[in-house]
Amino acid sequence: MACPYPDYPRMNKPRPLLIDTDPGLSVRLSADIDDDLAILFLLASPEIAILGLTCTYGNSSIARTFADAQRLLREAGRTDLPVLKGAGWMSRDVNRETDASRFLAETILRRPGEITVLTLGPLTNLAAAPAMLK
């Protein structure tokens, strides 16, 4: 499989990455560890510069996924990274502006063509961002 970034071997700086996630490791009786492990792996990669985490519902409520993301970064010693709360599962939360969708839109606008967005949960935050990109 070809590398999606043709200039990758010549890159001298880490790729800027936003992570939209619904982590659930600290949720009681949860065996859903994929988001948490992916975040930890990316935090350790010298090829990636994480710009922030945006949280959405999915594995649990938005309150719990937000708390889990904060806890994960605290335990990883990366409290310097912003964690923003996004959409909940209620229909009233879909396609409305949240701190997370605003952060996604503003960060992408500040650095057009440079940012990669990795979505690990439902796409509600990303779906609300285009209205703010205009």
Residue 8 in any domain: the answer is no
Q: What is the CATH number of the domain that holds 47?
A: 3.90.245.10
Measure the CA–CA gap between 103 and 87, rounded to whole angstroms: 13
Q: What per-residue confidence (pLDDT) applies to 1?
A: 47
**C-alpha–C-alpha distance, residues 75 and 95, integer Å:** 32
* Residue 3, domain member (yes or no): no
Q: What digits encode the pLDDT tens for the residues 69-105?
A: 999 999 999 999 999 999 887 656 667 888 999 999 9
- At 2-50, the pLDDT tens digits run 556 555 555 578 999 999 999 987 655 555 788 999 999 999 999 999 9
Inside any domain, residue 64: yes
Q: Residue 27 falls within a domain, yes or no?
A: yes
Residue-wise pLDDT tens digits, 111-120: 999 999 999 9
Is residue 54 included in any domain, yes or no?
Answer: yes
Q: Does the pLDDT value for residue 124 go beyond 90?
A: no
Identify the sign of the CA torsion 37, 62, 95, 78.
Answer: negative
Distance between CA 125 and CA 14 in Å, rounded? 24
The percentage of the chain sitting over the pLDDT mark of 90, rounded to a whole number, equals 54
Domain assignment present for 6: no
Measured between alpha carbons, how far is 54 from 103 in angstroms, rounded to an integer?
8
Within a domain: 5: no
Domain containing residue 29:
13-132
Residue 114 lies in a domain: yes
**Overall domain count for the chain:** 1
